[in-house]
Structure 1
Amino acid sequence: MQVFHSHTVDRVRSLLFGGRTRYGLIFTTVLYALLIAIGFVYLYPLLFMFITSMKSPTDLLNPLVQWVPTEFYTGNYVKAFRVLNYPNALVASILLSVAPSLLQTFVAALIGYGLARYRFWGRRLVLLLILATFIIPPQNTVIPQMLTYRDLGLLGSPLALILPAVFGQGYRSAIFILVFYQTFLSLPKVLEEAARIDGASDLRIFLTIAVPSALPAFVVSFIFSVVWYWNETFLTSIFLEGGVQTLPMQLSRFVQAYENLYPPGAVNIFDRINEAVKMSGTFLNILPLLVMYFVLQKWFVESVERTGIAGE
């Protein structure tokens, strides 16, 4: 009887506190509760935004309607779609974020590889200057940049974003250069030496050995670069001089554009701007980024784990 009681106590203790090979029930419960709480904190703004955007004017005026709208109402999205000039703004946003990001990622990889693999005078100074470009706020350098672009005839043209990316001076290029620098430093030199003995050129070694080994860094750099180019409105509006309107830029003037399309004195109370319409415009703005994250989620998570970069 005593042996049976001792065995039962051990099983209960193992179930609650776990053992060497598995977690106990208490630890698992606390862990999942913490994960759910953290997940809710991050997802709450997105859920609130989406649910509010689906509310009809009647639901907005009804204090009893909080999380579950009484009907599936898409009128807010129709209005926001029109106000944002969504098709044109979406195409402009994709072109002005994806194209510079692709160029910036490849150029940052070249610079990072050169700094990691080649020894030359002033290499540490170059690294220091690259780091300085990331530390110095862009607001301090925007006037010299704008004057330089004006002299080159780039203001108002997408080339004002594309050409700097080609020369490693895109948005926050320094952090991507440092990521590739650290990635290529950890790459075994034996592989490159063996390829060089076989007669491979430096360019072929970079393309066939270094690039495949640094795929996680490429994925992370590309995704973060797209997000930063997408969300940057201050520098983009200055360099493009209003010639091209991206979705974030359209969203920043959403209220003014809405009132131009729906003048307050010419429409009924239900067509006036409200929180639901604003939320619809905001959700349409972040929707392409959400789709990109869902599509690239698997590679993104694996790449972040291997590169050690933290997002913001």
Structure 2
Amino acid sequence: MWKKQTLVAANKVRKLLFGMGENDGFVFKAVVYLLLIAIGFVYLYPMLFMLVNSFMSLDDLVNSMIKWIPSTLYVENYSRALNVLHYRDTLMQTIMVAGLPALLQTISAGIIGYGFARFEFPCKKILFVLMLITFVIPPQITMMPTYLLFKQYGLLGSLETFIYPAILGQGLKSALFILIFYQFFRSMPDVLEEAAEIDGAGSFKIFYRVAVPMAVPAIIIVFLFSFVWYWNETYLAGLYFGNELTILPLELQKFTDSYNKVYPPGSPGSQLNEAIKLAGTILTIAPLLILYFVLQRWFVEGVDRAGITGE
């Protein structure tokens, strides 16, 4: 009797620690949670470091006793960063430079991806392979020919240098976005199109009434990544726009020079420190973080609306 009770207790302990069947035990869950916390800390540490130090005064920065908790929330760093970045005007230009091409690229990639996925036409496989090859070609190879083409047509210094490639499916990483839509539309059940055709719908109506509502998750993913890539594209923006347009990452690159112009050396408070630079960095990435959190909610809802049971 005593041995049986001991065996039952041992089984309960083993089940609690290591699980049984589909139930995970305490040890497995603890290891998973520790790994997730460690990975999350690696990604969050730079953000936490920037955020905390951006609120530090110069006295806090030079005080070796202060590491993570500032003595006071010194918001003057953000006030100066706003002035140096000309934040309001630059933010509006950045949203326009990133948002409009990203929207147009999402539309064109969706149409092209749907065409490759749902239609048969001559040389389809060859064209699809050529489209994918454009993704692996380094942009440095096509940069100068594209620049000379834009110069010939008088497009330099305007947003059209980003808009026209986006419309034609040749924007930043367009091949990847076309592939995302291609894979998504290929998984769409044929019975939905057949039912729409029976109801008298044509190809265009099937696309925007059936395919597009189902592709909401793919649309959000493509738009989000496209927006971020256009937002962070400083090299092409500096090359094509010149002094006509600017974006926040470009202004952040020349933050030191701009700071010396706004606060000339010798003037009160002209000393630039790391806290002010970090404040400028936070202001530059804050819109992207806000956009991500907003679209993350819509992404989850989009998955729920677009869920397909097995056909």
TM-score, length basis structure 1? 0.93
Partner residue of 1:52?
Answer: 53
Q: CA RMSD in A?
A: 1.8
Of 53-62 and 195-204, the range deviating more from structure 2: 195-204
Partner residue of 1:278?
Answer: 277
State yes or no: 1:39 paired with 2:40.
yes
Q: What SS does the corresponding residue of 1:296 show, helix, strand or coil? A: helix
The Cα shift of 1:61 comes to 1.1
CA distance in structure 1 between the aligned counterparts of 2:41 and 2:198, rounded to whole angstroms:
55
The Cα shift of 1:267 comes to 3.5
Partner residue of 2:207?
Answer: 206
Partner residue of 2:263?
Answer: 262
Matches within 5 A, 1:227-246: 227-246=228-247
Cα distance 1:303–1:127, how it changes in 2: closer, same or farther (>3 A)? farther
Cα distance 1:77–1:297, how it changes in 2: closer, same or farther (>3 A)? same
Partner residue of 2:309?
Answer: none
The Cα shift of 1:47 comes to 0.4
Give the letter for the 1:75 counterpart: E
CA distance in structure 2 between the aligned counterparts of 1:231 and 1:302, rounded to whole angstroms:
27
CA distance in structure 2 between the aligned counterparts of 1:301 and 1:142, rounded to whole angstroms:
37
Partner residue of 2:293?
Answer: 294
Q: Are the counterparts in 2 of residues 16 and 26 from structure 1 also a CA contact under 8 Å?
A: yes
Give the letter for the 2:251 counterpart: Q
Moved over 6 A (4+): 301-304
CA distance in structure 1 between the aligned counterparts of 2:300 and 2:216, rounded to whole angstroms:
13
CA distance in structure 1 between the aligned counterparts of 2:15 and 2:120, rounded to whole angstroms:
57
Partner residue of 1:169?
Answer: 170
The Cα shift of 1:186 comes to 1.4
CA distance in structure 2 between the aligned counterparts of 1:290 and 1:176, rounded to whole angstroms:
21
Give the letter for the 1:278 counterpart: K
Q: CA offsets per residue over residues 219-242 of structure 1, 9 Å max, x none?
A: 110100000000000011111122
State yes or no: 1:16 paired with 2:17.
yes
Of 145-154 and 83-92, the range deviating more from structure 2: 145-154
Q: Are the counterparts in 2 of residues 217 and 303 from structure 1 also a CA contact under 8 Å?
A: no
Give the letter for the 1:291 counterpart: I
The Cα shift of 1:41 comes to 0.3
Cα distance 1:301–1:196, how it changes in 2: closer, same or farther (>3 A)? closer
Unaligned runs of 5+ in 1: 308-312
Q: Are the counterparts in 1 of residues 238 and 250 from structure 2 also a CA contact under 8 Å?
A: yes
Of 111-120 and 248-257, the range deviating more from structure 2: 111-120
CA distance in structure 1 between the aligned counterparts of 2:302 and 2:62, rounded to whole angstroms:
46
Question: What number of residue pairs does the alignment pair up?
Answer: 304
Q: Are the counterparts in 2 of residues 219 and 300 from structure 1 also a CA contact under 8 Å?
A: yes
Give the letter for the 2:53 counterpart: T
Matches within 5 A, 1:46-85: 46-85=47-86
Unaligned runs of 5+ in 2: 307-311
The Cα shift of 1:259 comes to 1.0
The Cα shift of 1:300 comes to 4.1
Q: What SS does the corresponding residue of 2:37 show, helix, strand or coil? A: helix
Q: Are the counterparts in 2 of residues 108 and 168 from structure 1 also a CA contact under 8 Å?
A: yes
Of 123-132 and 42-51, the range deviating more from structure 2: 123-132
Q: Are the counterparts in 2 of residues 134 and 172 from structure 1 also a CA contact under 8 Å?
A: yes
Q: CA offsets per residue over residues 32-74 of structure 1, 9 Å max, x none?
A: 1111000000000000011110101110110110011111110
Of 125-134 and 198-207, the range deviating more from structure 2: 125-134
State yes or no: 1:134 paired with 2:122.
no
Give the letter for the 1:79 counterpart: R
CA distance in structure 1 between the aligned counterparts of 2:206 and 2:159, rounded to whole angstroms:
33
Cα distance 1:302–1:136, how it changes in 2: closer, same or farther (>3 A)? farther
Give the letter for the 2:159 counterpart: P
Give the letter for the 1:61 counterpart: V
